[in-house]
A and B are shown apart, each in its own frame.
Chain A
Amino acid sequence: MERENHRLVRQVLLVVLMWALFMPVVFAHGEIAQMAGIRMRTVHWFDTKIEPTQVKVNDIVTVRGKFMVSGHWPDYVAKPEEWVFLNIGVPGPVFVRMDATVNGMPQYQSTAFKRGEFYEYEVKMKARVPGEWHVHPLINVWEAGPISGPARFVQITGSKDDFVNTATSPRLE
């Protein structure tokens, strides 16, 4: 009986070990983790450019590209004509967003995107926290959640202490 138990323990250990050794390291997530209906029938991302991918703290990284809001938006997903927000998928505020435009117009706050329409966007961000970060363009849809686009790894070097961020107050002239 004891021998049986030992054999069972050895077998379990072997399985765990093999699992740990051969488990692929997962890097990509977000857009790939999303279910097919969300990925292929909501927002079509293309010409996505996230550059440069090697920066120092305080340097500017631009996320730009185009997307088409599907005319065949699934019935079970809340509609983008209600409330949407062009966002960035990053692990915390490792960048500071300086500016965002959609079709050349400022996009600081939430808006509505029409199904079947085509949009061009550009987001400028200032590097803040050193590290290697996966950066996605992303659209938050009210009551539906985030719909993320393709991502690149951006490496930030330097020291967080060197980060500068200034604000301008309106001048009364």
Chain B
Amino acid sequence: MAIQIEAGNKADVDRTPRGNAVISVKEQMQAWRNADLFFFPLISVLIGGAAVFLCALTVGDWSYWMDWRDRRWWPLVTPLLLLALPAVATYAFWRYFKLPVAATGLALGFWLSQIVSRYVNFHVFTAFPMNWVMPEVWIGAAVVLDAVLLITRSFALTGLVGGMLFGLLFSAMNWPVVAPMHMPVLLGDTVMTLADYMGFQYIRTAMPEYVRIIEAGTLRTFGTHVAPVSAFVSGFFAILVYYVFVWIGSKGSRPSWLGKLV
């Protein structure tokens, strides 16, 4: 969208385009900037909203409730599913506009849409406390992904380094939201985390306690360090997810299939 203009000779720059509301190159630049200012937030919120929908379909309860955020599956599955759309958008934005902003813009739009969704659907409509249904944040991980693309200027390297970092950083960057929920509290004589406690207190009729017992494995190869191991595994898979969805982006952003459709 922001297209670079090669300023040739002076006469060329000052020439007035005919039959156009824009009468100088300067105004043309301004028009492009205005279009950018209008379209970027719009596209961010639109694709971000699509990512919210995708997240609701795939991550679902892991994303909704604090007591679902376990240390094994949540850090593994969530970043993998959240990386799909940014990878598609990254292809289009980098290939056609040379803008390394797709992931960051999408993460911002996602966060905005997600906060609105949680506030209206979970807090106002069904009365759950906001800290209990806070959405995950991945703006930081998206910035890192875009920064790697900006530095390396290569999809292959961005997948390798950025994808790995995306998976690795996700759970660490969400720790400030999750950490207070790990505080120990007493229910009778039973010690629970605050997340478990609130899960018991704030009644969810259709969500019995047993459905969230998902960390069933007892294999402890790496001792107690389950979350970092999950994050590493997530990083490895994220590399693959990034490549696959950049490829899908390369197919999807070509307008040829549109011609066949219409």
B213 within 8 Å of A (CB atoms) = yes
A169 and B210 contacting across the interface, CB-CB below 8 Å: no
B209 within 8 Å of A (CB atoms) = yes
B205 and A87 contacting across the interface, CB-CB below 8 Å: yes
Q: How far does the alpha carbon of A79 sit from the alpha carbon of B204 in the complex, in Å?
A: 22
Q: How far does the alpha carbon of A89 sit from the alpha carbon of B213 in the complex, in Å?
A: 21
| Contact partners of A142 in chain B: CB under 8 A | 208, 210-211
| Contact partners of B209 in chain A: CB under 8 A | 85, 108-110
| Contact partners of B203 in chain A: CB under 8 A | 87-88, 90, 92-97, 125
| Contact partners of B186 in chain A: CB under 8 A | 167-170
B184 within 8 Å of A (CB atoms) = yes
| Contact partners of A108 in chain B: CB under 8 A | 187-188, 190, 192, 200, 209
| Contact partners of B127 in chain A: CB under 8 A | 92-94, 128-129, 160
Interface residues of A in 117-167 (CB under 8 A from B): 125, 128-129, 138, 140, 142, 146, 160, 165, 167
B190 and A93 contacting across the interface, CB-CB below 8 Å: no
Q: How far does the alpha carbon of A140 sit from the alpha carbon of B128 in the complex, in Å?
A: 21
A93 and B204 contacting across the interface, CB-CB below 8 Å: yes
B188 and A110 contacting across the interface, CB-CB below 8 Å: no
A83 within 8 Å of B (CB atoms) = yes
Q: How many residues of B contact A (CB 8 A)?
A: 26
Q: Using A92-B127, A93-B202, A96-B202 as known contacts, say yes or no to A87 and B208 having CB atoms under 8 A apart.
A: yes
Identify which of A83, A89, A129, A146 contacts B210 (C-beta below 8 A).
A83
Q: Using A108-B190, A142-B210, A167-B194 as known contacts, say yes or no to A97 and B200 having CB atoms under 8 A apart.
A: yes
| Contact partners of B126 in chain A: CB under 8 A | 91-93
Within the complex, the shortest CB–CB distance from B212 to chain A, in Å, comes to 10
B205 and A96 contacting across the interface, CB-CB below 8 Å: no
| Contact partners of B206 in chain A: CB under 8 A | 146
Q: How far does the alpha carbon of A140 sit from the alpha carbon of B203 in the complex, in Å?
A: 13
Within the complex, the shortest CB–CB distance from B105 to chain A, in Å, comes to 34
A81 within 8 Å of B (CB atoms) = no
Q: How many residues of A contact B (CB 8 A)?
A: 34
Q: Which of A84, A110, A125 has the most CB of B within 10 A?
A: A110
B185 within 8 Å of A (CB atoms) = yes
| Contact partners of B183 in chain A: CB under 8 A | 169
Within the complex, the shortest CB–CB distance from B261 to chain A, in Å, comes to 38
| Contact partners of A128 in chain B: CB under 8 A | 127
Q: How far does the alpha carbon of A93 sit from the alpha carbon of B129 in the complex, in Å?
A: 9
| Contact partners of B202 in chain A: CB under 8 A | 93, 96-97
- CB closest chain-A residue, reference B190: A108
Within the complex, the shortest CB–CB distance from B202 to chain A, in Å, comes to 4
Q: Using A96-B201, A96-B202 as known contacts, say yes or no to A167 and B185 having CB atoms under 8 A apart.
A: yes
Within the complex, the shortest CB–CB distance from B41 to chain A, in Å, comes to 33
| Contact partners of A146 in chain B: CB under 8 A | 205-206, 208
Q: Mark B113-131, 1 if CB is under 8 A from A, else 0.
A: 0000000000000111000
| Contact partners of B247 in chain A: CB under 8 A | none
Within the complex, the shortest CB–CB distance from A169 to chain B, in Å, comes to 6
Q: Mark A62-87, 1 if CB is under 8 A from B, else 0.
A: 00000000000000000000011101
Q: Which of B127, B191, B201, B203 has the most CB of A within 10 A?
A: B203
Chosen A-B contacts, 7 in total, with CB atoms closer than 8 Å, are A87-B205, A92-B126, A94-B127, A98-B201, A99-B187, A110-B210, A169-B183
Binding site for B on A (CB under 8 A): 83-85, 87-100, 106, 108-110, 125, 128-129, 138, 140, 142, 146, 160, 165, 167-170
Across chains A and B, which 6 residue pairs bring their CB atoms closest together, nearest first? A140-B208, A85-B208, A110-B210, A93-B202, A92-B126, A83-B210
